[in-house]
Structure 1
Amino acid sequence: MSVLPNRDRQAERREATRREIVDAAWEIARRDGLAAVTLREVAAMIGMRSPSLYSHFDSKNAIYDAMFGQGWTRYLDEMRQHVLPAAPREALLSIAEHFFAFALADPARYQLLNQHAVPGFTPSEAAYAPSVEVMGLLREIARGLGVTESADVDLFLALCGGLLDRQLANEPGGDRWLKQLPRVIDMLADELGLPGPSLRSSR
């Protein structure tokens, strides 16, 4: 007969409370913007006194830190599960479209993860770690597609990020800049000599 290990119920309750706090912070950020996240607002949303909140997060930046780590961890999980086409051009386009979808689904999250939108906030090493894993995985995938130079990966990120920033700034619910992705990926693929038919002609 196997004996189950003793559960640390106090730690479980503490972790559940931290998740509730972070969820409330995201709700405030999505409703009113990242700057609206304060310890007082978060405490009020979950029915907790502000001093009690300090036993879980000692500052507003500590909450941002947890949000940052959670956001990149979620994208890393999605990235690992995302199945790519075999053709290099189609694969690059799929990576770009997947990140577009992730960003457009939650603009507040994208701002925190990618735009340094909170003055004075710098993520901790632990919270930053999943974003480093994302970049490592992206470079590994890119090498398999024939994009071997770091500068070429940087260019891919800059082109896609520029379009994404325009989309979010000017038409967050639309697809005006999203529709430019096949053209941009074709231009990059042509520059890098990647094989395959034009993406624009196939759509």
Structure 2
Amino acid sequence: MANAVAKRREARMAGIVACAWTLAKEHGIGGVSLHALAREVGMRQPSLYEYFDSKNALYDAMFADGNRQLMEQLDAETFAREPRAALKQWLAAFATFACEDTARSQLLFQRPIPGFTPSPESYALAEEVLGGLDTLMRATGVTEQGDIDCIVAVTAGLTDAQISNDPGGNRWLRHLNRLVDLLVDDALARGATNDR
């Protein structure tokens, strides 16, 4: 019986989070209102506190949910065997995911909500995502943290430029593979020089 109650509660929370994402798409991530959310899910605002004790707790659940969505999308990809090709595919899948939903992208990859910091449990999901990227980079021979950071930063910058300047297009993201090649080649060349 307790298991059934826990499952119903979990399903209710998932429904609330899904509705919050819908509101975020309509009004922006900062425009998610607990009053509007309660109305959309058919309950009074104080009843939401049975599921989320604060707006930041709701954002935390959304952050975790968004990272689970990203992991599902990445897990559905069939990556090339060659490490550099797989890295490019991973980064393209990541950028595509980010561009699909601006509100979700802001919550996951920026810090738009004053006072909100993901809980350690939710942030662990983001670290799991980045762990997969780190593994791919190291397989290409990119092992220095600074080089890894540069590739992540370039991907994030292109994604932000795409979202801001050409939503739905590819003006910026079409350069991703070329820039990955430049950065990986540079990292490998510097590594080879240091090995001498």
Q: Same fold (TM over 0.5)?
A: yes
More helix by share: 2
- SS of the aligned residue for 2:26 comes to helix
- What per-residue deviation string (whole Å, max 9, x for no partner) do you get for residues 156-179 of structure 1? 101111111111111111110011
Match of 2:64 in 1: 69
Match of 1:34 in 2: 29
The one-letter code of the counterpart of 1:135 is L
Q: Which moved more, 1:7-16 or 1:36-45?
A: 7-16
Match of 1:200 in 2: none
Q: Which moved more, 1:123-132 or 1:6-15?
A: 6-15
| Stretches of structure 1 lacking an aligned partner (at least 5 in a row) | 1-5, 195-203
Contact 2:52/2:58 (8 A) holds in 1: yes
CA distance in 2, matches of 1:33, 1:26: 9
1:81 Cα offset (Å): 3.9
- What per-residue deviation string (whole Å, max 9, x for no partner) do you get for residues 14-33 of structure 1? 11111111111100000111
Choose from 179, 182, 189 the match for 1:184. 179
- What per-residue deviation string (whole Å, max 9, x for no partner) do you get for residues 171-200 of structure 1? 111110011112212211321238xxxxxx
Match of 1:3 in 2: none
The one-letter code of the counterpart of 1:192 is A
Contact 1:163/1:178 (8 A) holds in 2: yes
1:64 Cα offset (Å): 0.3
CA distance in 2, matches of 1:9, 1:96: 40
| Stretches of structure 2 lacking an aligned partner (at least 5 in a row) | 190-196
- Give structure 1 regions of 4+ aligned residues with deviation exceeding 4 angstroms: none
The one-letter code of the counterpart of 2:31 is A
CA distance in 2, matches of 1:137, 1:179: 23
Choose from 125, 130, 147 the match for 1:152. 147
Identity over the aligned pairs, expressed in percent?
Answer: 44
TM-score norm. by structure 1 comes to 0.87
CA distance in 2, matches of 1:190, 1:151: 14
Match of 2:87 in 1: 92
1:48 Cα offset (Å): 0.5
- SS of the aligned residue for 2:46 comes to helix
- SS of the aligned residue for 1:117 comes to coil
- What per-residue deviation string (whole Å, max 9, x for no partner) do you get for residues 119-145 of structure 1? 111111111111111122221222122
CA distance in 1, matches of 2:6, 2:185: 54
The one-letter code of the counterpart of 2:11 is A
- Whether 1:20 aligns to 2:18 is no
Contact 1:107/1:168 (8 A) holds in 2: yes
CA distance in 1, matches of 2:6, 2:121: 19
Q: 1:184 to 1:51 in 2, by over 3 A?
A: same
CA distance in 2, matches of 1:147, 1:189: 7
The one-letter code of the counterpart of 1:82 is E
Contact 1:39/1:59 (8 A) holds in 2: no
CA distance in 2, matches of 1:145, 1:174: 29
- Whether 1:112 aligns to 2:130 is no
